[in-house]
Amino acid sequence: MQQRILSGMRPTGKLHLGHLVGALDNWVRLQEQYSCYFMVADWHALMGEYENVGAMRESSIDNVIDWLAAGIDPARSTIFVQSHVPQHLELYMIFSCFTPLGWLERCPTYKEQLREVTTRDLNTYAFLGYPVLQAADIALYKAHKVPVGEDQLPHLELTREIVRRFNGMYKTEIFPEPEAILTSTPRLLGIDGRKMSKSYDNAINLSDSDEDIRKKVSSMITDPQRIKLADPGHPDICNVFAYYHTFLTGMEGDVRDWCTNAKIGCTECKKRCAAGLIEMLSPFHKRRQVFAKDRTLVEKILNDGREKAAAYASGTIREAKTAMHL
């Protein structure tokens, strides 16, 4: 029997290059080995974006188009929208009954978000309970493994504690304790040198046109110590070089030579970077156009995924209620 994996993304805007190397490329590889459930985590998005729900549905469709263009195969993976499977909230409710507040309040990402996010009030019941919903998402499909970065390990450990408590309290082994598949995410900054974020509008989006890519790369910050064309550059502190290193590895050696020996200027280097990114993304954009023109197909993929996910989730809820004598 294939082991199962659960992963998802919040539909809070357009996906960018960071999503491609940080998640999607990994998802494509994982579907070769595992039974994968990939969800549009709209309930999770609502917990933080409850005042800006208008664009969430459009973002959901747009994000799934990117998933499909990246190579997520609906014949091998189950693709669905979280809120279309009501059992997520049902198991969330069950888990919330016995999850201590202290477990949630000690979560480092919760404390970090409360400190850093000033544009909206996150001091809410739902946001505090965010990790419980994550636990329910994972447990609902009895996921054996979850792809995470190191910053998400505390959340996964909390999931393990919650399912361990359920299994122990009701003397069952319904839910496996999920293990982490650590994903190494390249450190990729936005075009302005800050953290890549839709709120900063500093990302190269997967849906950007060739002209958009050229404009964005041309505005990127380069080596601040290189003032004149004849000055040798320092590629390891240049944001443009980081894009070569991540996406255009075949050019990396040449770029280092051009830069350190002042063979070309930063403007020319950015032009070549943009051309390389456009060429790299060309197959993705061709596939994306196919799905973007056929929204009916995308809706069908999501509906088929919902039916498959709901069928499995219903069985899990029946088992959980039986164990609880409900």
pLDDT on residue 135 = 97
Q: Dihedral sign for Cα 6, 10, 15, 18, please.
A: negative
Alpha helices in 71-152 (DSSP H): 87-96, 101-105, 108-116, 125-128, 130-140
CATH class in words for 4-188+295-324: alpha beta
Residue whose C-alpha is closest to residue 225's, from 243, 216, 238, 244: 238
Helix or strand run (H / E) with residue 26: helix 25-30
Q: pLDDT tens, 96-123?
A: 999 999 998 888 777 667 666 666 777 7
Residue with more model confidence, 263 or 52? 263
pLDDT, residue 155, reads 87
- For residue range 161-173, list pLDDT tens digits in order: 999 999 999 999 9
In this prediction, residue 114 carries a pLDDT of 66
Average pLDDT over residues 15-21: 93
DSSP letters spanning 37-93: EEEE-HHHHHHH-TT--TTHHHHHHHHHHHHHHHT--TTTEEEEEGGG-THHHHHHH
In this predicted structure, the answer to whether residue 83 has a pLDDT above a threshold of 90 is yes
pLDDT over 90 (residue 223): no
Mean pLDDT for the chain?
92
Q: Distance between CA atoms of 92 and 46, rounded to whole angstroms?
A: 15
Domain extent listing, the chain: 4-188+295-324, 210-288
C-beta of residue 42 within 8 angstroms of C-beta of residue 83: yes
Angle between helices 56-70 and 266-292 (to 10 degrees): 100
pLDDT tens for residues 284-297? 999 999 999 999 99
**pLDDT tens-digit series, residues 297-321:** 999 999 999 999 999 999 999 999 9
Joined together, the tokens standing for residue 223 give 């080596």
Residue from 202, 264, 207 nearest 232 by CA? 264
- Fold classification of 210-288 is Tyrosyl-Transfer RNA Synthetase (1.10.240)
